[in-house]
Structure 1
Amino acid sequence: MIPAHFHEKHTETFFCLDGSMNMRVNGELLTLSPGDFVHAPARTIHAYQLESHYTRMVGLLTPGLFEPFFRILGDPYAGYVYPQTPPPFRFDRVLSKLNELDLKLVGAPPAK
């Protein structure tokens, strides 16, 4: 699960398109199915996890901040077809830039 966190200046909205995802919002566990959404205003503690293998979701972070997050989290990929085994996410780089990303962790990050 993406660890519990909040944003001081950004609002995040999640839309489940396919599959299933679990969301924790202010301590409440919600299961999202296709068509469901969760709106987490600034300073709302939240976490999420994709629960089924082919879950697709849309996340909106406003004002925009997702592009820098994903540029830090992953490495560029030059191929035209995403690989069957994707490269690992680089949460170590995200953790080193928390303030730049308006990402405030609540508690310790999950164990590896």
Structure 2
Amino acid sequence: MSDEIKKRIQTYFNYSSSTQSKWICKLCSDKIKKRQMPSRAVVNKLKLCDVPRELKKLNNLEKHLIALRLPFMKIVNLTSGKLSSRLSQKGTKEPLHCVPSDVQDTVTTLPRPV
């Protein structure tokens, strides 16, 4: 593990105050124990940025219209019995397919003439 990677990991864990807990997933923990940089880690400069104000205001239809990828999956109930399907825990079954979407094509087609 390079000195730069060690420094980034130490900075991440030392940044918080003593009252704040930091959590690390098993995959990242295993990588660090092997002295490797986790590929999907915050210290690997992977962070989620704040959602822009304009995008926060979009409804579900508008979000789907501008999505760059459209996920297709089979959603199943993981619990059976007394719970209604609306309240039960859900999961995915079989492969997940992410289909690319051409947003520019959608923009030029909408709104459709009446």
- Which TM-score band applies after superposition, normalised by the shorter structure? under 0.3
More helix by share: 2
Larger radius of gyration: 2
More strand by share: 1
Determine which structure has greater relative contact order: mean sequence separation of CA pairs < 8 Å that are 6+ residues apart, divided by chain length.
1
State TM-score, norm by structure 2: 0.23
